[in-house]
A = this chain, B = another copy of it.
Amino acid sequence: MSAHIIDGKAFAASVRSDVAKDVQSLKQKHGITPGLAVVIVGEDPASQVYVRNKVKQTSEVGMNGFHFEYPADTQEEEVLQKVHELNNDPAVNGILVQLPLPDHMNETAIIEAISPEKDVDGFHVVNSGLLATGGKGLVPCTPLGCYLMLKDHLGDLSGKKAIVVGRSNIVGKPMAQLLLDASCTVTIAHSRTKDLPAEVAQADIVVAAVGRPEMIKGDWIKQDATVIDVGINRIPAPERGQGKHRLVGDVEYATASENAGAITPVPGGVGPMTIACLLKNTVTATYRQNDIKK
């Protein structure tokens, strides 16, 4: 076990602390308190926990939080109406509609209704387009968190060989864009990739975002590579007692730690960064909406 363990919890705390300083400065110098609105529809338990954490952390960094809950059978029109209202509310700088939405709603239509400048999840097509073309948009929180961790650990990423395993719109694809913008040589691999071990073995940076427990084996990892594990998979853990489970990443952690120079653990790696980046995006959005240079 030689790898440096990247402490996502500590790093997320430092990101939040920087956000809190920005919030303080916006209040003192400009009389502006950044505001984040969260809209949640239905009672998905995972979403509920996540939203509770968001609300708590929003208030901890000194932002205003606005929280709107709707029952699962709400009409799409009502949610769209709320989004329009929030778009026009100057006290709201960031809007997040918690996904998944109930089946009867058109997720895309609701996300696209959010003003791109307030789309702190970075899922709006305009923000995808800005990221894809090197423009100045808002970047999805999880890949942004991975990117900040990589920059924090490695400094300049230029010329490094990176592989992103997984090509989702929420993680894999935007992650590849960020690494390309940072001048990495980027390979995107996925379920159709023919020789994944050989691809991974070449990479100085491995970002795993496939959602399959320990699918990336430790002996694939190049000596001293930096490994960012986005996966959070719940697997049976009979050794902890009958019916017990534990969380593992997409990377076989114990063996990968032998080769990697640095690795994020699961849990406690990428996970805590997501909300921290949501808050960071909200502050970024506030600066831009008010035309204030940081």
Partner-B contacts on A (CB < 8 A): 124-135, 158-159, 161, 167, 169, 173, 176-177, 180, 183, 185-190, 192-194, 199
Contacts and interface: CB of A to CB of B under 8 A. Distances in A.
A202 to B, nearest CB: 9
A169 B125 contact: no
A169 B132 CA distance: 8
A186 B189 CA distance: 7
A131 B177 CA distance: 13
A130 to B, nearest CB: 6
A133 B186 contact: no
A8 B161 CA distance: 33
A185 B177 contact: no
A159 to B, nearest CB: 5
Contacts of A131: 132
Contacts of A135: 125
A188 B180 contact: yes
Given A169-B134, A186-B187, A159 B192 contact: yes
Given A126-B129, A129-B129, A183 B173 contact: no
A226 to B, nearest CB: 16
B169 A133 contact: yes
Q: Which of A124, A129, A130, A161 has the most CB of B within 10 A?
A: A129
Contacts of A186: 187-188
A263 B189 CA distance: 25
Contacts of A133: 125, 128, 169, 173
Contact of A194 (B128, B130, B185, B192): B185
Nearest to A134: B169
Contacts of A128: 128-130, 132-133
Nearest to A135: B125
A135 B176 CA distance: 18
A185 B192 contact: yes
A173 B127 CA distance: 16
Nearest to A198: B202
A165 to B, nearest CB: 10
A187 B185 contact: yes
Q: Which of A132, A186, A194 has the most CB of B within 10 A?
A: A132
Contacts of A158: 192
Nearest to A182: B192
A29 to B, nearest CB: 30
